[in-house]
Amino acid sequence: MTTSFTTDRAIRIMAGSFILLSLALGVEGSPLFVSKNFLWFTAFVGANLFQSGFTRFCPAESIMVRLGMKRADGGSCSR
């Protein structure tokens, strides 16, 4: 069975990457630490995921669809 790469999978990968990167840059114990202010980005991504779960509006998905990516059927951000 072949699974296609849709906006749903891309959003999960993008959000997870952003969260891990911003934690690596914002937590003092990390060897990549830059500033605690990167934790605000982590909070922003989490808040966006939270609101999209209720409203089904996802700005990242809108951008990906405009760039030509296939929308997921019944995905978490699909409208």
Tens digits of residue pLDDT in 10-36: 999 999 999 999 999 999 999 999 999
Residue 39 lies in a domain: yes
pLDDT at 72: 76
Q: Is the pLDDT of residue 3 over 80?
A: no
pLDDT at 1: 46
Residue 46 lies in a domain: yes
Residue 53 lies in a domain: yes
Instruction: Quote the distance between the C-alpha of residue 19 and its chain's center.
Output: 8
Residue 15 lies in a domain: no
Instruction: Quote the distance between the C-alpha of residue 68 and its chain's center.
Output: 18
DSSP letter for 30, please.
Answer: S
Residue 18 lies in a domain: no
Domain tally, the chain: 1
Residue 16 lies in a domain: no
